[in-house]
Structure 1
Amino acid sequence: MKLLNRNFTLIMIGQIVSLFGNATLRFALPLYLLDRTGSASLFGVVLACSFIPMVLLSPIGGILADRVNKRNIMVILDFFTAILAAFFLLSNGLFSPEALVLIVMMLLSAIQSLYQPSVQSSIPFLQEKENLMTANAIINQISALANLIGPVLGGIVYEAFGITQVVIISGICFFLSAVMEIFIRIPYNKLPGEGSVISIVKQDMADSLHYIHREKPIIQKVIIIVALFNLVLSSMIIVGVPVIIKIHLALSGQLYGYAQGISAAGGLLGGVLVGVFANKLNVEKVWKLLLAAVATLLPIGVCLLFGAPPMVSYVVLVCCYFLMMLLATMFTVQMLSYVQGEVPGNLIGKVISFVMAISMCSQPIGQALYGVLFDWLAPQWIVFGSLVISAAIVIGSRKAFSHINDDSKKDLAM
């Protein structure tokens, strides 16, 4: 099976359009809220709440991905997201901006939690095992490209015309993606299931947890490490970058859009590097990528500590953000490819969704906490604190990552 076969190509194109709309909307809505309220605490709480559906519903998304036609899930959810964009347009002005943004962000999060397991679990059905890392790199590059163009265009349109035009563009993207995905054909074998829907869900969850806990405990260890990393570093970046740029540096939303776009370019380059060097990368050494990502916080903290001019601090922040995303993407693609290559086909959707849910469960806590901290403390101390704690987590994780291939060898021996 060739890499760029018809169905994988359609998924790629659909992802480009859908993720562009998603990136634009996810960029503009929090920025709209921050502009309307000026509160870092409220901003952090809304972001935290928007992650809760993703944590809670990702396991359900995995079960659906294994038991329902993956193509149908993608089509229905993209159509529903287009309707959600229309709901925002019709409701804007009827509700408070805080309530409306919270509702729409939570629904977007819920949709993504059901959508992404279908996309990720479809790749092993459309590719040979030797192409998995390259295929995942391509999907990540598409995500990075959408996140590159979406915030930049969203920032320009938002500053020039306001939130309404941004939502219209996003809604059109979701509609076009849904129409395109109708023509995708993904192999589908209905899994057996007896009893009520609740009993089937409980059994599927139990099977996934048993596999992660008993048969592949290394996956469980990696999940815990990533969850801690998300609590300390990822949450700080998600909340801190817009707050630092908009409030502490007093710069425009358009410059924040450029920062998001440039960071996405880092993710794009990271995906390219993984694809180019797929055969030379060693999953046992991925912790080094995380440690290097943590180190990018140092120049940001130094600029803020010594009160560098706003544009100097902005340029340094953007460059470091670019490098951080490059390194984080290389880590993510390698770990996702490892999981896809190890997990049986009948469990892959559920296991991937559990990995996503558990690794992200710490983010709502972290985002709410950082929202409060950025109102109370100078940003440089938050950045330095995140650097020290994140570095300690990564250094402490070296042993777990070093046993990844040992775990695979044991399975082969059995």
Structure 2
Amino acid sequence: MRNQNFVMVVIGQIISLFGNAILRFALPLYLLSETGSAALFGIVSACAFIPMIVLAPVGGIFADRVNKRNIMVVLDFSTAALVLCILLLLGKMDIVALIFTALFLLYGIQGAYQPAVQASIPALLSREHIMQGNAVINLVSSFSGLIGPVIGGTLFGFFGIRPILYVSLLCFLLSAVMEIFIRIPFEKKEGQGNIFLIGLKDLKESFIYMKDEQPLIMQFSLAVAAINMILSALMIIGMPVIVTQLLDFDSETANRLYGYAEGIMAAGSLCGGMGAGVLAGKMKAEKGYLLLFYDALTLIPIGLALMLSVPSIISYGILMVSCFVMMSLATLFSIQIMSYLQMIVSSDLIGKVISCAMCIGMCATPVGQAIYGGLFEILKGKVFGVFFIVTVLIVLLAFAMKKPFAGLAECIDKL
């Protein structure tokens, strides 16, 4: 699978995603530590997620019509400029407004960035190596997510937010410069009319394709949306609230432990990504729903630990083990779905169709974040029931996906 340009994409991802990981870890944690409000944390996190949803299909349209390398370069330079602005404005404007605006722009840039990366994989690798390529990209993301929060949590615990901003600024600048030298095959498409009409036409074409020609893509997109709203949003909001507010740790220790927790989750994702690479030829599409079923079971120990009020350090250990297993299975699940969808989508539509699928999958996440932020604020020490309810919902969803996975397996067999 050796490909020089793909290797350069991977290296660029390592640098850029490390900067992104420490930034997306530190900014919400800074807001939570400054305000102490889980509800405000949930609302800001939810609203900041919206531009990622909106700009994902836009990024997909550009990924099909503009050189993917140029998209990565411009957006990394844009993120560097954003971090510089945060540094200049920190302490000079309202903290809630600053963090909200920064996260809003950061997630928007990320939403436009990821379709270019995903669309570049089929352009650089042969069909039989697509799943391995996705596994490598996921491994890079997981590795950055493993190191980023651990370093970010340590820096934040001892020195505050500014060192994290300096490190992330350097990462985005280095990534942008390196990506200038990547060469990705690109054939310019001619479009008639202005860019907005072209964009609307492309979006309409993508959704018609998903609805009529490949309805499985729509089914899986809706299923992923449900997973994100029910499970992903729970962990996004629940993890920092549990570690920094519900467990009995002092503020400095809690911030560091939350960084380690994010690192453990990234390590689980790293393990899942390696598993996907090793098992690429052995994973059966029709059995994919079982990964989601097993994933749901990892919530039970967390709920029990919170319900029984076991010592904080033991609860933290249970949370870490459960999250590690959860992320390993979730990563296997997501890589499997993304790889199979890339296989069945027409090559000339892959950027915008995959980005529309990602958009649908992400659209429910902010709803879940806002709901869980309010629930954790109201329930305080009685949040264990939420984990048991979510377990049941995810188990039901897993078995509801058995038929779509069987249909996906049949579709792949026909390729």
TM-score range, shorter chain: over 0.9
Paired with 1:4 and 1:47, the residues of 2 have a C-alpha distance of 39
Q: Within the alignment, does 1:297 sit opposite 2:295 as a pair?
A: no
3-state SS of paired residue (2:216): helix
Match of 1:379 among 383, 386, 402: 383
Q: Summarize deviations over 1:223-245 as a string: whole Å, max 9, x none.
A: 11111111111110110011001
Shift of 1:385: 1.7
Q: Superposed, which structure 2 residues align to 1:302-321 within 5 Å?
A: 302-321=304-323
Query: So what's the TM-score if we normalise by structure 2?
Result: 0.97
Is the contact between residue 64 and residue 348 of structure 2 (CA under 8 Å) also seen in structure 1?
yes
Shift of 1:62: 0.2
Q: Within the alignment, does 1:402 sit opposite 2:406 as a pair?
A: yes
Q: Which residue identity is paired with 2:314?
A: V
Paired with 2:261 and 2:377, the residues of 1 have a C-alpha distance of 22
Look up the match of 1:206.
Answer: 204
Shift of 1:250: 3.5
Paired with 2:173 and 2:89, the residues of 1 have a C-alpha distance of 20
Look up the match of 1:159.
Answer: 157
Paired with 1:148 and 1:166, the residues of 2 have a C-alpha distance of 15
Give the count of matched residue pairs: 409
Is the contact between residue 149 and residue 260 of structure 2 (CA under 8 Å) also seen in structure 1?
yes
Paired with 2:248 and 2:105, the residues of 1 have a C-alpha distance of 30
Q: Which residue identity is paired with 1:110?
A: G
Identity of aligned residues (%): 49
3-state SS of paired residue (2:330): helix
Q: Within the alignment, does 1:355 sit opposite 2:351 as a pair?
A: no
Shift of 1:122: 0.4
Look up the match of 1:389.
Answer: 393
Q: Within the alignment, does 1:327 sit opposite 2:329 as a pair?
A: yes
Q: Superposed, which structure 2 residues align to 1:280-291 within 5 Å?
A: 280-291=282-293
Q: Which residue identity is paired with 1:16?
A: I
Shift of 1:284: 1.5
Paired with 1:86 and 1:5, the residues of 2 have a C-alpha distance of 34
Q: Which residue identity is paired with 2:17?
A: L
Paired with 1:95 and 1:286, the residues of 2 have a C-alpha distance of 48
Structure 2: segments with no counterpart, 5+ residues: none
Match of 1:223 among 212, 221, 224: 221
Shift of 1:407: 3.1
Paired with 1:135 and 1:43, the residues of 2 have a C-alpha distance of 35
Match of 1:110 among 83, 108, 123: 108
Is the contact between residue 283 and residue 401 of structure 1 (CA under 8 Å) also seen in structure 2?
yes
Report which stretch shifted further, 322-331 or 337-346: 337-346
Look up the match of 1:67.
Answer: 65
Is the contact between residue 216 and residue 407 of structure 1 (CA under 8 Å) also seen in structure 2?
no
Q: Summarize deviations over 1:313-358 as a string: whole Å, max 9, x none.
A: 0000011001111001001111111111111221111011011100
Is the contact between residue 340 and residue 412 of structure 2 (CA under 8 Å) also seen in structure 1?
no
Is the contact between residue 246 and residue 253 of structure 1 (CA under 8 Å) also seen in structure 2?
yes
Q: Which residue identity is paired with 1:242?
A: P
Paired with 1:211 and 1:395, the residues of 2 have a C-alpha distance of 26
Q: Summarize deviations over 1:130-154 as a string: whole Å, max 9, x none.
A: 0111111000000000000000000
Shift of 1:4: 2.1
Is the contact between residue 218 and residue 407 of structure 1 (CA under 8 Å) also seen in structure 2?
no
Q: Which residue identity is paired with 1:290?
A: L
Q: Which residue identity is paired with 2:6?
A: F
Q: Summarize deviations over 1:239-279 as a string: whole Å, max 9, x none.
A: 00110010000431100000000110110010111111111
Q: Summarize deviations over 1:90-127 as a string: whole Å, max 9, x none.
A: 01112111111110001010000110000110011110
Paired with 2:389 and 2:4, the residues of 1 have a C-alpha distance of 48
Match of 1:184 among 178, 182, 185: 182
Q: Within the alignment, does 1:173 sit opposite 2:171 as a pair?
A: yes
Is the contact between residue 244 and residue 255 of structure 2 (CA under 8 Å) also seen in structure 1?
yes
Q: Within the alignment, does 1:259 sit opposite 2:261 as a pair?
A: yes
RMSD: 1.0
Shift of 1:408: 3.9
Is the contact between residue 11 and residue 184 of structure 1 (CA under 8 Å) also seen in structure 2?
yes
Q: Summarize deviations over 1:363-397 as a string: whole Å, max 9, x none.
A: 01000000000011112011112112222222222
Q: Which residue identity is paired with 1:401?
A: F
Q: Which residue identity is paired with 1:25?
A: L
3-state SS of paired residue (2:182): coil
Look up the match of 1:140.
Answer: 138
Q: Which residue identity is paired with 2:396?
A: A
Query: So what's the TM-score if we normalise by structure 1?
Result: 0.97
